[in-house]
Amino acid sequence: MKHILLIYYSQTGQLKQIAESFIRPIIENHSITIDMEELKPITLYPFPWPFGQFIDQFPEAVSLIPPALHPFQFDEGKKYDLIILAYTVWFLSPSPPITAFLKSAKGKMVLSETPVVTLIACRNMWLEAHEQVKQLIKQANAYILDNVVLTDRGSSLKTLATTPRWMLTGKRDAFWRIFPRAGIHNDDIIATQRFGKALLFSILNGDIQKTNPVLTGLKAATVDQRLIDSEKIARRSFLIWGKLFQLLGPQGHFLRKIAAIAYGLFLIIIIATVVPAMMIIRVLLKPWRQHAIDKERQYFESPSGSEDDRMEKFS
Ligand SMILES: Cc1cc2nc3c(=O)[nH]c(=O)nc-3n(C[C@H](O)[C@H](O)[C@H](O)COP(=O)(O)O)c2cc1C
């Protein structure tokens, strides 16, 4: 009998729903056991988020400073055949509970020498976060077999309004006729089952090997190449400002609250101006940079890729 461990942290329940859709075909097959571990921070994050508290999260999130978690339920001595790590992105970094799991001694122990399938669900900026996760998984002596990414179908511009609105007010519905419902489309959540089917097929066929991804041809990870530079620049800025915030005091310190509001406003202006400007510059330079862009996209889409030639088999 094969054993899978699913690790996740989901604040609103969206990622949990996606992870459950992913594993449904495996559960229904009954030939593989799945232990589900929901990470539980000791200090709960608020939802909806007060604006200042939302911004106040970024210094620790980008510096990968782990929050305290309740003890894990899984047996760290158990050898799993595969771990599914389902995570969301907070400020271009893995959500802090996921960082805490990856950095913990018990997390590293259970991960050691085990193939990992990462499952990301976020607005649309996940590249830099995944670079961090890749490093942490490597440090835990584990390796990524596949990476599956679900992003909001809305355009960058529209989700810039719908996602913060959802996070800061709890309102997720479509509004003003032009803005779509925030978050991952329900059809995409249901279609996540194809990955579970393909994974089940590979496990039952003994195809899980160290270097070969098994979720290729299923449109697992599609990179919006226009966001690559913006993510790099934004992360650098987060790191610099984050250090300054940390000098002001711990999370919740009144100086940080003032700084958070000022930085939040600055951030909105930057995101509304620099991100579209970077996207335009990238599009204009595309003819000269095509080869480099293709290489970059291939790198970020690896190992599972954006091809869709096996979709029918597992739909
Ligand atoms: C503090 C915070 C920061 C976020 N930053 C990003 C981000 O940098 N990029 C992104 O694509 N989504 C970002 N999101 C959206 C989340 O990745 C995720 O889609 C959303 O929180 C819903 O996930 P849930 O399943 O945990 O509720 C952020 C959300 C929160 C709460």
What mean pLDDT is reported for the chain?
95
Separation between Cα atoms, residue 211 and residue 225, nearest integer Å: 25
Q: Is the pLDDT of residue 262 over 90?
A: no
Atom index in ligand 1 nearest the CA of residue 9 equals 26
Report residue 276's pLDDT band, with 50, 70 and 90 as the boundaries. Answer: confident
Q: Is the CB of 14 under 6 A from ligand 1?
A: yes
CB-based contact 41:11 (threshold 8 Å): no
Domains belonging to the chain, first-starting first, are 2-224+303-314 (3.40.50.360), 228-297 (no CATH)
Minimal CA–CA distance to 231: which of 92, 112, 46, 104? 92
Which of these ranges, 51-55, 101-105, 124-128, has the smallest mean pLDDT?
51-55
Q: Which of 9, 163, 237 is the best mutation target for the ligand 1 pocket, counting ligand atoms within 8 Å of the beta carbon and taking the most?
A: 163
Separation between Cα atoms, residue 198 and residue 314, nearest integer Å: 6
| Main-chain phi, psi angles of 4, to 5 degrees | -120, 145
* DSSP conformation class of 71: P
* DSSP conformation class of 179: B
Q: What is the pLDDT of residues 123-155, one digit of tens each?
A: 999 999 999 999 999 999 999 999 999 999 999
Q: Is the CB of 122 under 6 A from ligand 1?
A: yes
If one counts every other C-beta atom within 10 angstroms of the C-beta of residue 284, the result is 10
Q: Is the CB of 10 under 6 A from ligand 1?
A: yes
Q: What is the pLDDT of residues 200-236, one digit of tens each?
A: 999 999 888 767 999 999 999 999 988 898 899 889 9
Distance 77 CA to ligand 1 centre (A): 32
Residue whose pair of structure tokens reads 């779509």 in the numeric block: 180
168: exposed, middle or buried (Cβ count in 10 Å: 0-12, 13-18, 19+):
middle
**For the whole model, what pTM was predicted?**
0.96
Q: Is the CB of 166 under 6 A from ligand 1?
A: no
**What proportion of the chain, given as a percentage, has pLDDT over 90?**
81
Report residue 274's pLDDT band, with 50, 70 and 90 as the boundaries. Answer: confident
Q: Is the pLDDT of residue 174 over 90?
A: yes
**What proportion of the chain, given as a percentage, has pLDDT over 70?**
100
290: exposed, middle or buried (Cβ count in 10 Å: 0-12, 13-18, 19+):
exposed
User: What is the CA angle 165-169-173, rounded to 5?
Assistant: 60
* DSSP conformation class of 206: T
Q: Is the CB of 58 under 6 A from ligand 1?
A: no
Separation between Cα atoms, residue 149 and residue 18, nearest integer Å: 11
Distance 88 CA to ligand 1 centre (A): 6
Residue whose pair of structure tokens reads 């919006």 in the numeric block: 224
User: What is the CA angle 92-239-266, rounded to 5?
Assistant: 80
Distance 176 CA to ligand 1 centre (A): 23
**Length of the chain, please?**
315
